[in-house]
Amino acid sequence: MRALAYGGASRAGRALWQPGNVVKARLTQRGEGAPIRVSGELLYGCAARILDMPLALAMMQSVCVLADATLPEGEPCPAFFGATLKLLSFIGYSRMWRNRLACPIILNGSWRCWMCWALGWI
């Protein structure tokens, strides 16, 4: 599904649509042929918490790129969303919690298993 975020490229709106942010989005359409408009509310900002941690920032970026490149557009994947939300929240915690919780989720493959299940490969 494609939508247009008015003001998304502005200085104030740009921060909302960054990779790693969990956003509550609202879609509206005025008429049958009109473009779909999206507005959002920030629920959790992962990237803002880890700007000074290069490894955590790389982990968050790779999770977002993999999800964007592989998941089918417009199909709901609630279990995968829950696993990704859990992973992003653990990455955004302190260094101790990230090393104890987020790294094992990525390294032991549980997040990748959720992604493969969402794609129908398992």
Mean pLDDT per block of 10 residues along the chain (122 residues) reads: 81 84 88 88 82 81 85 81 80 64 60 68 63
Say if 20 falls within a structural domain.
yes
pLDDT value at residue 82: 83
pLDDT value at residue 96: 63
d(CA 72, CA 93) in angstroms, rounded, equals 29
pTM value?
0.68
Q: What is the per-residue pLDDT across 56-74, written as a single tens digit (0 to 9) for each?
A: 788 888 888 888 888 887 7
C-beta pairs of 86-92 under 8 Å, 24+ apart in sequence: 87/63, 87/111, 88/20, 88/22, 88/44, 88/46, 88/60, 88/63, 89/44, 89/46, 91/46, 91/50, 91/56, 91/59, 91/60, 91/63, 92/44, 92/46, 92/49, 92/50, 92/56, 92/60
Say if 1 falls within a structural domain.
no
pLDDT value at residue 95: 64
pLDDT value at residue 99: 61
Say if 5 falls within a structural domain.
no
Say if 27 falls within a structural domain.
yes
Domain boundaries, position 26: 11-119
Contact (Cβ atoms closer than 8 angstroms) between residue 95 and residue 67 = no
Q: Count of domains in the chain?
A: 1
Say if 3 falls within a structural domain.
no
Say if 68 falls within a structural domain.
yes
